Amino acid sequence: MKKIFPYFLIFLSFLVTYSIFPVTIFAQAPEEWTSNCYSLKNVGGTVIKVATIQGFECIFRNIVRILVPVAGVLLFIMLIVGSFQLMTAGSDPKQAQKAKATLTYAIIGLVVFFGIWFILLLIKAITGIDVTKFAIPGPL
């Protein structure tokens, strides 16, 4: 556990840093990705970008945009590690049990991940409310 903690802190710092900045880094970002991140104010003839409460939408969107691929990569790594452990366990039942547990946790994580997404889409289909999009209402 102590060996993983510094790497977790580095990952967490990158995640926080990336999610704080609302502007995307893609060459041609769709307008809806950055439209609610700031408002434009005319100050002395100069148009400046002012942070608004809707900027949290961009932060949330950036966090989700990071976590989904990271979850996929972690699942793939867990499957590789579990498979490698199972192949190298040989006749040691304790190592084989540890490898099977790793594979089980990876598959449970995949099922939970898709289960949550399915439940959100089911709520959208039943109620008509799109709960997969995070939005803070702006001023009327």
Per-residue pLDDT of the chain (140 residues; tens, 9 = 90+): 567 676 676 777 766 666 665 555 555 555 555 555 666 677 777 777 776 776 777 777 778 778 888 888 888 888 888 888 888 888 888 999 999 999 999 899 888 988 888 898 888 889 988 877 777 766 65
**Rg (the chain; Cα; Å):** 21
Angle of helix 55-88 relative to helix 93-127, nearest 10 degrees, comes to 150
Q: Give the pLDDT confidence score for residue 32 in this predicted structure.
A: 52
CA distance 79 to 95: 15
CA distance 29 to 49: 17
Q: Give the pLDDT confidence score for residue 94 in this predicted structure.
A: 92
Q: Give the pLDDT confidence score for residue 98 in this predicted structure.
A: 92
**One-letter identity of residue 6:** P
SS3 of residue 135 by DSSP:
coil
Which residues have C-beta within 8 Å of that of residue 79, sequence separation ≥ 6?
103, 106
**One-letter identity of residue 38:** Y
